[in-house]
Chains A and B, each alone.
Chain A
Amino acid sequence: MGDGLAGTTIRINLSTGEIKKYPTDSQLMRDWFGGRGAIAKILYDEVPRNADPFGPENLFILTAGVMSGCFIPAGAKVEFGSVSPLTNGHGDSNMGGHLGPALKYAGYDMVIFSGISPKPVYLYIDDDRVELRDAAAYWGMGSLECEPVMKADLGEDFEIATIGPAGENLIRFSCITHDYGRQAGRTGQGAVMGSKKLKAIAVRGSNSLKVHDLANLTKYVTDIIKRTKTHPNMAPWQKYGTAFFIDWSNKNAVLPTRNFQTTFYENIDGINGEQLVEKCLITHKACFGCWMNCGKYTKAILPGRQVVYLEGPEYETGALCGSNLGMTDINQVAYINWLMDNVGIDTMSGGGVVAFAMECFQRGLITEKDLEGHTLNWGSVDDTEHFVKMVVERRGIGDLFAGGTKRAAEVISQGSEKFAMQVKGQEMSGYDGRYAPGMLLAYMTCDIGAHHNRAWTITVDMAEGRETIEGRAKVVVYLQHIRPLFDCWCICRLFWGELDIEPEEIVQSLNYVTGWNIDTAEALKTSEKIWNLVRCHYLERNPANGRTFDYPPARSWEDKIPSGPGEGKGLSFAQIEAMLDDYYACRGWDKNGNPSREVLHDLKLDFAADNLEKIGLLGKPLPEGIPEVRGARYKPKAF
């Protein structure tokens, strides 16, 4: 009998090369749920508040949590974490594929890196063999090129994750790539790896994992498998993945178009999911233990260019590198997807940075002179490729954009800050929030910047009113508790969220794995604790009232949507302020966006309250008190 954990944690000091193994702190995993939660606690406890994200004191952590690899549907994730070079706060990002389970089968729950290696290395794990090996032969290689070379060198059954030249060059929105196209894209985890001269992670494992109740778990999971086989939405998922929703976003006026200048794209028919399946698809690709097969392995064929192979474009890349860049053909979007995957930048932030630069060029804020004689026009793959290479190699103005849109806008200024579509330094996901207030609030208050993974509310906005803000805050808070649970437990939200599986069922399967015997309420409260700790950590590293960081770019209220079904729509600044007020009240934070002692005490975070108090950022006592339960699951009134 076990608890889903492999049993061992590894700490590696890259400066000295020292590798230490010790028993996994199962209490830490229990109290903080492993995955994102354990990362949050370790970063909070151990990374000095003034540590440079690219310096030796930043930690780089990877963990497969409790459920990854445990015969759990979509139990495939590995979570990476460090202080983000994009946001200067807690950063975490995860990926599917097969690396998380491999780490567990090798015998390890977590690897924590500190320091900086004097020369490029990769981590080699083969069951109990754990080594730092010379990566000179791989340094400089693109991620998608490097993986097959490493597999040929080490063995086809190794699971490999790499950074590309972007991570090596500390491009702040660099990603980590694995399994020929899965990424941990957000928060610049690839850049932190690069700063530590860590090129890759290679893992192979042959141990068995022990869970609390294998018999009941097997029966439970087998029932879920059989039930979802006939779920009506499964077949379309398997066939089309997420790319298909670009049409829906477009019809409903939330599709980012030309750097979020508008939200309806006239050339959608050239870049949508149907185009992907007809023109580019090779195979449906799954992560470990998941049969939604949402991955689409494809090829991009463009005249005058080599044929390239990639996984994608999925929804986000399709939007942010498709309509957001004015591309007109799916092969163009796929090629840009491959380009960014291979150099190793997040396609979401990458699309956002290129789009921002394109708008700067459109407005004459940067010129051909800045671009080595090249243009940077909407819809041009040539221009995009040239610009991306300037950024990755930090040539000329590329060096400025290597820091992301926020930093670039601070230097370019001339009003460009308005359309640097980011919050807290991380670029927006593929949904425009002007006609979806809850979505805008989700971006404003997400702990890692303008990312949708914590909360997605567009159908709630459609049901409750796309121009009103009532009730949105408590829904966002609830989603910000339930969705990150998947990142803690290292399972994929997509499978569990899209196929009618209730939170209680997920918690039950967690209990079969771990024996923790928790209920949904406890799960949500622990997630809320993690959320608040991350907020406290952010404020300690960026000492100013939290509200300072929670505003969207000014385009969100100054520019009404100019065209398409959302024409004329957009919130007022007063509505944005009111949404923040609501949100803070829901959270038990004061009007400055700082957590109150009362809520931190309720979450057993008194130590964090003390730390905030020392720097004058503890939230003022709330005269009305704090809500007993923060956040509420949306109950559609229509049914």
Chain B
Amino acid sequence: MQIKKIKVTTGKCSGCRLCLQICAISHFDEINPKKASLRVEARFPQPGLYKPKVCIQCGKCMEVCPEDAIYRREDGAYIVDKEKCTNCGECIPVCKPKVIFQHRDVDHVIICDNCFKCVELCNTGAITIFTKTVKEKV
């Protein structure tokens, strides 16, 4: 099947953080970059680059979740069931790009749901959508 993922192109991000803002607005109806499910890592003073950290839809969070609160949607994306999630945070250490977050005002972990609103707003092409063919069925 075909799965869409976010691709990061090194060297294009300028650190504007529009992606963080629209992510939080879209999912929480709030202006708060700390509620976004991605981050922008700033590597200064050297080498002087920004790197978006995004969910790579690897599924490791689902593998370790003790509550079965993470499931795979039809389109292949890994989604948190907000009712089932106890916010235990077991998924956090296994996330390689470190993009699973907890926030004191939110009672579940914050994980990207592959909505691509961030990509829509990105003006530099630092984050784009790419389609990957995977063998396993959902």
Contact = CB atoms under 8 A, between A and B. Distances in A.
B88 to A, nearest CB: 20
Contacts of B33: 101, 105
A291 B124 contact: yes
A288 B16 contact: yes
A144 B45 contact: yes
Given A144-B45, A209-B31, A309-B46, A285 B14 contact: yes
Interface in B29-54: 29-35, 41-42, 44-50
A208 B105 contact: yes
A286 interface: yes
B121 A293 contact: no
Interface secondary structure of B, over-half rule: loop
A148 B44 contact: yes
Given A180-B44, A206-B32, A286 B14 contact: yes
A74 to B, nearest CB: 9
B31 A211 contact: yes
A620 interface: no
B4 interface: no
Contacts of A209: 30-32
A219 to B, nearest CB: 11
A289 interface: yes
A229 B122 CA distance: 10
B34 A285 contact: no
B25 A225 contact: no
Contact of A208 (B31, B41, B48, B50): B31
Contact of A71 (B21, B34, B35, B45): B21
Contact of B32 (A144, A208, A222, A284): A208
A218 B121 contact: no
Name the interface size band of chain A.
35 or more
A105 B34 contact: yes
A283 interface: yes
B129 interface: no
Interface string B1-41: 00000000001001111100110110011111111000001
B131 interface: no
Contact of B48 (A211, A222, A297): A297
A194 interface: no
Contacts of B42: 156
A289 B46 CA distance: 23
Contacts of A69: 31
Contacts of A371: none
B31 A283 contact: no
Given A214-B25, A225-B121, A291-B123, A285 B15 contact: yes
B109 to A, nearest CB: 15
- Determine which residue in B17, B28, B104 has the highest number of CB atoms from chain A within 10 A of its CB, and name it: B17
B96 interface: no
B32 A218 contact: no
B103 interface: yes
B107 to A, nearest CB: 15
Interface string A153-192: 0001000000000000000000000001000000000000
A148 B32 contact: no
A186 to B, nearest CB: 24
Contacts of B103: 206
A524 B50 CA distance: 38
A23 to B, nearest CB: 20
A207 interface: yes
A283 B18 CA distance: 18
Given A148-B45, A282-B49, A283-B48, A291 B16 contact: yes
Contacts of A286: 14-16
B28 A208 contact: yes
Interface of B: 11, 14-18, 21-22, 24-25, 28-35, 41-42, 44-50, 103-105, 121, 123-124
10 contacts: A98-B17, A208-B32, A210-B31, A222-B22, A225-B18, A225-B121, A234-B123, A288-B17, A289-B16, A289-B18
Interface of A: 69-71, 98, 101, 105, 144, 148, 156, 180, 205-211, 214, 218, 222, 225, 229, 234, 238, 282-291, 293, 295, 297, 299, 309
Given A282-B49, A290-B16, 10 more contacts: A71-B22, A98-B17, A206-B103, A208-B35, A225-B18, A225-B121, A238-B123, A283-B50, A291-B123, A293-B123
